[in-house]
Amino acid sequence: MQKNHFFYPYTGNKRTELHEISKYIPENIDIVVEPFCGSCAVSFHIWTTNKDKKFILNDNNKMLQELYETIKDTEKEKHFEAKLNEALEIIRNSEDKKKEYQRFATKDTLMGWFLGHKYYSIRPFLFPQHRTGFKPVKLSDTPIYHFYKEADITFTCKDGIDCLMEYQNNPKAYIFLDPPYLNACNNYYSNPTTDIYEYIVNGPSINKAPAYIVIVVEENYITNLIFSDKKYFCKYYEKTYQTSKKLTRHKLVMNIQCMKLYKPVKIMTRIK
């Protein structure tokens, strides 16, 4: 299992599932597209093995785009890191650490958003009151930093459907769709949208799109109706959530382009 690659634990990131997802990544592609990129676990994994690909990363969370643009600019990066560590020093030396943390950890600024996510625990009563709970941050120590700095990336902030539509007709594109799960659209997601499911059902058929398209969903009655095995090439694997320890089953859904690579197609011929 890949170690945590992002700057902080990211809800729903796919690093613990890469051993399954990576089995179905085609080699003959030029562009990797993630319409719901989040922590970019899949793109980062591909980059570690092949640095010649172009990456299209999209997420409707504007802070992710701002973080990427900050790291790409050396001066902005230095300023951001200095302000972040200045805030952490104040929190570490405060008698009421939680109060100071709450003062800085706002969603209005990149620093507040980053600090709030990095030192926030979804488990109650585990706020780190000790000094070591707010260690100084060095961005370059995080694996994803080098991906942001060195890879050929275009980072956008628009609806995931628009991103999918732009690249689904490119036969050299691998599109990894990790949309918010139907039964988990809660406050852990920033402005979640389930419109992607309506688009898949009623829009142009992604099953016959020239691009290689892979979708990961949590298996349930509704997703089984949408992504029938009779229509799509599907693979399943067990998943245990790290925090809640909830056991579930995930479903990798692949279109015909992927099916041609990983599943033999029987060709019926008439015997004369």
Residue 46's domain is classified under what CATH number?
A: 3.40.50.150
Residues 95 and 45 in one domain: no
For residue 40, tell me if it sits in a domain: yes
Q: Is 251 domain-assigned? A: yes
Could you read off the pLDDT of 44-85 as tens digits, one per residue?
Answer: 999 999 999 999 999 999 999 999 999 999 999 999 999 999
Residue 5 falls inside a structural domain: no
Looking at residues 26-36, what average pLDDT do you find? 95
In the block, tokens 């922590």 appear at 39
pLDDT at 173: 98
Number of domains in the chain: 2
Take residue 251 and report the two structure tokens written for it.
Answer: 């479903």
- The CA distance from 63 to 114, in Å, is 9
d(CA 211, CA 155): 20
Q: Which of 110, 141, 172 is at the close of a domain?
A: 141
Q: How many CB atoms lie within 10 A of CB 245?
A: 7
Same domain (yes/no): 162, 226: yes
Q: Is residue 195 part of a domain?
A: yes
162 & 257 share domain: yes
pLDDT at 192 over 80: no
Instruction: Identify whether residues 49 and 164 lie together within a single domain.
Output: yes
Task: Kindly tell me if the per-residue pLDDT of 171 is higher than 90.
Answer: yes
Q: Dump the DSSP string for 128-143.
A: --SGGGGPPP-GGGSH
Residues 170 and 212 in one domain: yes
Of the three residues 97, 117, 141, the one that is the final residue of a domain is 141
pTM of the predicted protein model: 0.88
The answer to whether residue 6 sits within a structural domain is: no
Residue 2 lies in a domain: no
In-domain check, residue 270 = no
- Where does a domain end: 95, 114, 141? 141
The answer to whether residue 164 is domain-embedded is yes
Query: Are 56 and 110 members of one domain?
Result: no
Task: Tell me the CA distances in angstroms from 157 to 47, 69, 160, 229, one per residue in order.
Answer: 21, 12, 9, 32
197 and 125 within one domain: no
Lowest mean pLDDT among 27-31, 95-99, 164-168, 176-180: 95-99
- Asked if pLDDT for residue 130 goes beyond 70, the answer is no
Q: Do 219 and 173 share a domain, yes or no?
A: yes
**Residues contacting residue 124 through CB under 8 Å, at least 6 positions apart:** none
Q: Are residues 80 and 169 in the same domain?
A: no
pLDDT at 153 over 50: yes
**Is 46 in the same domain as 73?**
no
Mean pLDDT of the chain: 86
Give the strands of the sheet with 212-218, arranged side by side: 152-156, 54-58, 31-34, 173-177, 212-218, 247-254, 233-240
Say whether both 94 and 125 belong to one domain: yes
How does residue 184 score in pLDDT terms, banded at 50, 70 and 90?
Answer: low
Domain extent for 41: 15-60+157-262
Question: Percent of the chain scored above 90 by pLDDT?
Answer: 55
pLDDT at position 261 is 87
Q: In which band, very low, low, confident or very high, does the pLDDT at 174 lie, cut at 50, 70 and 90?
A: very high
